[in-house]
Each structure stands twice: as structure tokens, then as C-alpha cells.
Structure 1
Amino acid sequence: MSDIKRPVLNPKTTSYEFLGPPGAFLITFGVPALAYLLYFTCNQSSGGCPPPVNTLYPSLVGAVSDPAFWWKLWDPKAFALYYSWYAFCLLAWAVLPGDWVQGTQLRNGKYQNYKINAFSTALLAIGLSTGYILRCGVGSFTFFYDHWIGFTSAALSMSFLQAILWYALSFQEGKLLAVGGNSGNFIYDFYIGRELNPTVGSLDIKSFNELRPGMILWLLIDISMACAQAARLEGRITDSMILVISFQALYITDALYNEPAVLTTMDIIYDGFGFMLSVGDLLWVPFVYSLQARYLVFRPLELGYARSAAIVAVNFLGYYIFRASNNEKNAFRNGQNPKNLVYITTEQGSKLLTSGWWGVSRHPNYMGDLLMALAWSLPTGFETPITYFYVVYFAVLLIHRQRRDEEKCEKKYGKDWLRYQKLVPYRIIPYIY
């Protein structure tokens, strides 16, 4: 018998992110609280976006101390519609045709397979919604605006239910755990995600939630916001609303159409499925990312041709950088190099691009993301900082993700990563960061 020790399949997590269990605890409750706060500080009856501090604080304190306030968070109609929507996504995944794509190799030597049909699911949902609007009128599709808090609570309940379920099931024998979610601390592991790839039959829960229930719902919410504005403006919508919906629809359909690209992200490869991803996918994406469209319902704004053209230019510059850089990366990973891009080869055999978009910065796609985020907020004007929350949040998110990614790369590639950093010195934005 050999005395050679095999590596442990599920090693204990020895380092924390997000300031460890205290940080995970604060984020677990802080993220939902912030989603609600963005609504209560910026809605049609709030008295401003945000209202003056001398009125905001007393009104919030008075509201949360009233039992009736908490009951209003639970809207039976919104709950029924939200859970029906989730069931629709599951059914569409099962019955709609789609290619099966193999993901990256797991630590146990196996591969996870993923069914690719998010784009066709979106087309079906949009087609059914369009038919409903044409038959019943724009006023019939305003329920997301009318029952916003109820839908937010329904998505939050689904987020907690899934996080609890998959955390509990992760203790079954034979589960492959996430390297970062096996600390033994309940609060931290619940938040980060303990099991790497929870599945039901052939359904991969993590990739399913990544694109379908939240991302497609975001688009439907935007359509609902346009309907709510049209119902108030005698059937028309403003150019600012058109821009916001068009920009976000482009981003969403691009992500859905290029679904296989998500299989190379950190979320899929490294992170377990816990509350961090469940609340991000199911609550945060559809109900926070649609903030600008919701604002324009009760603060309609006409931009005119000149301002609209300038904002369009910002968005398409960002989209071009985002898509062109991702196409370069994906082609190179698939063994193609039509542009004869320069790269270095690490001791592990991996290749790191040092020219093209990936020679401009280590994360040029993030630079495109940030420009698009700015373009989504510019149509709301400058009367409130709240609609620019997404830009600030997204910048923090991308910088954190960039640092997580580069920390893993430094551990993996060692001195080769230091050599790469000298060749590509800028992290996201050249000459700035």
C-alpha cells in the first residue's frame, strides 16, 4: 500500500472574505434592508429622492414601529405571481430544447453539464407578455410597479428558502464543497455557499438562478415600468424611458444569448451556492437594477435629441468594449487566435493574454461594464443621486471581484503572475486604476 497522501477533496476553509462571519452577518441582513430602503427613500409618495433627513428618519422609525407596516410587506397576490414565475422558469428549462454544454473540470475530476436555453425562455416570456399587453392594454401590465414591495418580499423569501435548503443538503455524503465555503462557521458558510454545484437531477441550481428567474424578470419589470409610465402619459413613453429600457434590454439579451460564457465566471467555477448568490440573483438583480426605470415612472423626463445621442454614444462605447474584450477572451480560451494576440505561458501551461483588449488592462470588460452602468443612469437626469447608486455599487462590486480574481491568480501562477502584472500594469481603467 502506498504511503503517499492524497489531497483532501473538501479542504477546510482557512481564510475569510467580507471580514469573515461578522461581515457575512451584516451583509445577509444589510442587502435586503438596502433593497427596501432604495424604494422607501425614492418613490412617488416619499416627498423627494431622498426626502429631507429631518422627515425621512422620523417617517422610517414610525413606519417600522407600526405592525401594519410589516404586514404590508407580504402581498399574497405578489407572492403567488412571483412563485408562479419561478415555476414557469423551471418548466421552460425542462421542456424547451437546448444544447448541453460541459463546464470546466471539477476538483473531483468530473464535469458539470448545463442545459443552454435561457434565451429561448426569455423569448417565450416576452412573447406571452406582449400578447397579454396587446389584448388587455398597457394598464394591465403595471402590477410590478403597483405591488413592488410585495414582489421584493416574495423574492427575498425565495432567496432565504433556497439558501437554507442547499446549506442543509450540503451535509449529505459525497457532496463537493466550495473551497471558500467550508469554514465550519454557520453564518459564514450560509452566506458564501457551502456546496459548489447543488443539482436536482440534471438541473444545475446555480447556473439556473444566475440567468433565468432574476435576469429575465428584470427585463419584464422594465417593460412593466414602461407600461406604468404609458398609462400615466396617455399611451406614450419618454425618450429617457426608451433609452433605459433599450440599454438594459441589450445587456440582458446579450447575457442570455451568450449563456455559455457564464460558465467561465467566478460565480460558477469557484463560489458555492449560498445566500450571497441566491439573494443577488433573485432579489438584487431584478429589483435594484431596474431602479432607473421605476424612477422614470413618477419622474418622467424628456431629454431631446442632443442629450439622447450623447448618452447612446456612452452606452455603445461601453458595450463595444465589453463585447469585444469578452469575444477575444472566449475565442482564445477555445483555442482560437485570429488576431495573433501575444501571450505568456505559465509553468502550469496556462496562457495569459498580454495584447489586444487584455493588454490594455487585466479586466477590460469591467471598464465596458462601468460605462454602460453610467449610461443607464444618465437618462434620469441629475435631480437625485439615488438613480446613480447602481454606478457606485457596481464599481465597488467589480473592484472587489477583480481583487478576488487576482488573489486566486497570484496563488495559482506565482512568479508568472508577477511577470504578467508588469506586462499589463492596469487593473481595469488604463492610467487610472
Structure 2
Amino acid sequence: MASKEVSKELNPRTTSYEFLGPPGTLLISIGVPFLTYALYFSCSETTGGCPPPNFATWQDAVTRAVSDVNWWKGLWDTQASLIYLGWYAFCVVAWAVLPGDSVEGVPLRTGETKKYKINAFSTFLLALGITTGIIVRYGPEAFTFIYDRWVGFVTASILMSVFQATACYIASFQQGKLLALGGNSGNFIYDFYIGRELNPSIGSFDVKSFNELRPGLILWALIDISMACEQAVRRGGLQNITDSMWLVLAFQIWYVGDALYNEPAIFTTMDIISDGFGFMLSVGDLAWVPFVYSLQARYLAFNQIELGPVNVALILLVNMTGYYIFRSANGEKNDFRNGRNPKNLQSFTTQRGTKLITSGWWGRSRHPNYLGDIIMALAWSLPTGFNTPITYFYVIYFAVLLIHRQRRDDENCEHKYGEDWEKYKKMVPYRIIPYIY
């Protein structure tokens, strides 16, 4: 009886909804896979362009396609699914076999701390090494299969997302599970999407942190490489890859490598600290990130654009500015949280005993790292030129996502710090963009 009372204290009922509650989460759960497919069919060679040249005719074609059972069968590709399963298994084996330090996360509500194995960057280097070996030995045409089987890979990743979200939801009802404070409403649709269990694990294997950084994020880089190989085959060799494609490759692979190299930083993020692992994170990590974020590289595979040195230099400047803000802001935060303060940042102590930074980047806005992220997102789309708005979808989506995340974070901090948060907002009034927002 006592254990059940303790469990109820640790796992209180969720009394407020996000994303407009069950109707909103149901709409997003359906909408995210739909939009992943839609971004392909609205911007690809198979449909005739980006977007298709005659939109009215294209709408009619979509209506006819989705009413055809053969079109639905075409979403499945057995070979792509097997390759995807092999890729996921490779990531799991690499996590288990490659050496790595053990890092403690933020203390849980139980007073315990989880330990995480850190070797995502090693997995990334191994994957890049194998990929490079394949391309050098067999030529770029040996690595165009992701471009050729795009829809099949998307389907495989979405099915894996549904499977993991379902398995974690069912497992969350086992006795002794620590639930996410926001995912225990009792409504299946809502809890399935948000994630009911905070840290689903199999032994020392933490499902959430693993998916956050490895299968989808590294696959994003490999997809970009496959798109470059497709372009190289069409243009007569790797030496003929366009400067626009090289920029996208450099920006996005550097971003992925940087995130993996700084793996411990993820354990202080909202995803790990407070969000459960449900369909929101599983489909985002495994399907949305690799197959939507690589849209620019896929576009450049069949729309080759030469920018010239001046445009290359300007786009490089935009990306470097965003990266500097992103990395230096995150560096300040991580140093401060780990008891270091090399920049002598100012702060004030809350009634909870924790400190909030009020100078440096974090004195300019409450989320300066988001500003860096948005600027980099713009730089990743600029190499595609201005012939289509579709390749700028990522910038718009990412800005909306970060604004929503900022509002979620501010709401959590308001509950956490109370009057101290109001004091902090007066000291740091801007949310993301200094003097603007």
C-alpha cells in the first residue's frame, strides 16, 4: 500500500494539456507522417518538379493516386525496410561495442541519476568511414540507393516510430515506472503522443537518448552524402559536384558532428529532463529529422545550382554567424551548469537555490541558442536559390518549432521559479531575438 502511495506522489495525474489536447495530438500524429510524404511528392522528379508545374493537374493526380491501392502498396519497399533495420541494428551494436565514458544525467524526481554511455561521435565516425570506403571502392553510384528508394525508407522509419512509441506506451504500465509529468493524463491518444514513461530503458540502454542522437541524426548526414553521390553520377564524377551541394553537405554534416561530439549537452535539454518518450519524439527523431531536414540536398540532386564565389562567401558568413551564436551560447550555459564560469557571467540566486544567468548571451535573450539555430537554418536553405519556396520549409518550420518550445520552456520555468521568473523576465525581456522578440 505504501509503495502505491509513493508511486502516486511521484507520478501525479497530468491536469493540463499541450498541443490543444487529444484532438491536437491526434492531428499532429497523422499530420507528421503525411507531411513527410507530401514534401517528397511536392518536390521530386517523380512528380515533375518542385512544386509540380501544373498544380491543378497535380491535385487531380494526387486524388487519383491515393484512391489507387497500387499507390499505397508503392509506399512499401522490402529492400529499403531491411536496409533500414540493418542500419538501426548497426547503431545499437555500435553503442554496445564501441568504448565510451559514462556520464550522469540530471537528478530524477526519485533522487536517482541515470548514467549514459557516451560514444555517439565514435558511431558517427565509424559510419562515415564505412560510407567513404564504399564510395571510394565502388564509386558514387554505389551509394545512391537512398535517393532511389526514398519513399520506402520513409515508410520504414515511420513504422519503426509507431512500433517504438507503442511498445514504450505499453511498457509504461509496468509497476515502478517513472512517468513524465506531462504524459500521464489517462487519455490514450494524448499520452501515446506525448510519451508516458520518462526514461524507457532496456537494462542500461536508454531508448530516448539513443534515438535522440544516433539513428536519425547520423542517417541525416548519410542521406546528404547519398544525394551528393546522385548528383555526382549525373554530372560525371565527384569532382563535378556543385558548390551549392558542397555547402549543404558542409553545413549539415558539421552540425550533426558537432551535436554528437557534444553529446553530454543533450542531457540538460527539455527532451531528456521532462518529456516522455512517445510518438512525438520517436517520429521526430527517426523519420522527420533525417527525411525532412535533408530536403535541400535532395532538391540539389536533381536541380544542380552553381552559386559562384561571392554567393558562397555570403552564405558561409550567414552560417558561421549562426553557428557562433549557437555554440557560444550553449557553451556558456553548459559551463555555468557544471560549476564553471570562465566569462564571469552575472546571475541571481532563486528561492530554490538555483541560479539564472543574466549576462553574456543569456543576458541578451532567454533563448539565444535558438537564434543561432534559426540563422543556420536559413543558411542551409540559401544554396537552393529562390526558384521554389518548398526548400525554405525547414526555416519556417524550425522557427515555429523553436518559438513553441520557448513558450513551453517559459511556462515550465514560471511554475518552477514563481516570482523569481517574473524578476528574471524583467532583467532579460527578450525571448529569442534581442530587441525584437
The normalised TM-score by structure 2 is 0.97
Matched, 1:386 2:386: no
Measure the CA separation in 2 of the matches of 1:70 and 1:113: 43
Matched, 1:431 2:432: no
Deviation at 1:47, TM superposition (A): 2.5
Q: Letter of the 2:117 partner, please give it.
A: K
Secondary structure, counterpart of 1:210 in structure 2: helix
| Aligned 1:295-310 pairs, distance under 5 A | 295-310=299-314
Q: Letter of the 2:388 partner, please give it.
A: T
User: How far does the alpha carbon of each residue in 1:156-212 deviate from its partner, in whole angstroms, 9 at most, with x for none?
Assistant: 010000000000010000000000000000000000000000000100000000000
Measure the CA separation in 2 of the matches of 1:273 and 1:302: 42
Deviation at 1:430, TM superposition (A): 1.0
The residue aligned with 1:349 is 353
The residue aligned with 1:19 is 20
Identify if the C-alpha distance between structure 1 residues 345 and 136 changes in structure 2 by more than 3 Å, giving closer, same or farther. same
The residue aligned with 1:28 is 29
Q: Letter of the 1:363 partner, please give it.
A: H
Matched, 1:267 2:268: no
Secondary structure, counterpart of 1:105 in structure 2: coil
The residue aligned with 2:182 is 180
Q: Letter of the 1:349 partner, please give it.
A: G
Measure the CA separation in 2 of the matches of 1:183 and 1:50: 41
The residue aligned with 1:333 is 337
> Which sections of structure 2, spanning at least 5 residues, go unmatched?
none
Deviation at 1:110, TM superposition (A): 1.1
Q: Letter of the 1:34 partner, please give it.
A: L
Measure the CA separation in 1 of the matches of 2:187 and 2:46: 42
The residue aligned with 2:50 is 49
Measure the CA separation in 2 of the matches of 1:29 and 1:406: 28
The residue aligned with 1:151 is 153
Secondary structure, counterpart of 1:100 in structure 2: strand
User: After the TM superposition, which of the residue ranges 152-161 and 54-63 deviates more from structure 2?
Assistant: 54-63
The residue aligned with 1:407 is 411
The residue aligned with 1:91 is 93
Secondary structure, counterpart of 1:127 in structure 2: helix
The residue aligned with 2:110 is 108
The residue aligned with 1:377 is 381
Deviation at 1:53, TM superposition (A): 2.4
User: How far does the alpha carbon of each residue in 1:29-85 deviate from its partner, in whole angstroms, 9 at most, with x for none?
Assistant: 100000000000000132331123212210111110111111111101100000000
For the 8 Å contact 2:7–2:176, the answer to whether it is kept is: no
Identify if the C-alpha distance between structure 1 residues 5 and 139 changes in structure 2 by more than 3 Å, giving closer, same or farther. closer
Measure the CA separation in 1 of the matches of 2:194 and 2:381: 30
Secondary structure, counterpart of 2:344 in structure 1: coil
Secondary structure, counterpart of 2:104 in structure 1: strand
Deviation at 1:111, TM superposition (A): 1.0
Measure the CA separation in 1 of the matches of 2:301 and 2:344: 49
User: How far does the alpha carbon of each residue in 1:332-381 deviate from its partner, in whole angstroms, 9 at most, with x for none?
Assistant: 11111111111111000110011000001000000000000000000000
User: How far does the alpha carbon of each residue in 1:110-147 deviate from its partner, in whole angstroms, 9 at most, with x for none?
Assistant: 11110000000000011011111111110010011000
User: How far does the alpha carbon of each residue in 1:258-304 deviate from its partner, in whole angstroms, 9 at most, with x for none?
Assistant: 00000000000000000000000000000000000000001000000
The residue aligned with 1:216 is 218
Deviation at 1:6, TM superposition (A): 9.7
| Aligned 1:185-204 pairs, distance under 5 A | 185-204=187-206
Q: Letter of the 2:425 partner, please give it.
A: Q
Aligned length: 431
Measure the CA separation in 2 of the matches of 1:155 and 1:7: 35
The residue aligned with 2:77 is 75
Measure the CA separation in 2 of the matches of 1:330 and 1:5: 33
Q: What's the RMSD between the two structures over aligned residues?
A: 1.2
Measure the CA separation in 2 of the matches of 1:42 and 1:55: 15
The residue aligned with 2:326 is 322
Name the % identity: 68
The normalised TM-score by structure 1 is 0.98
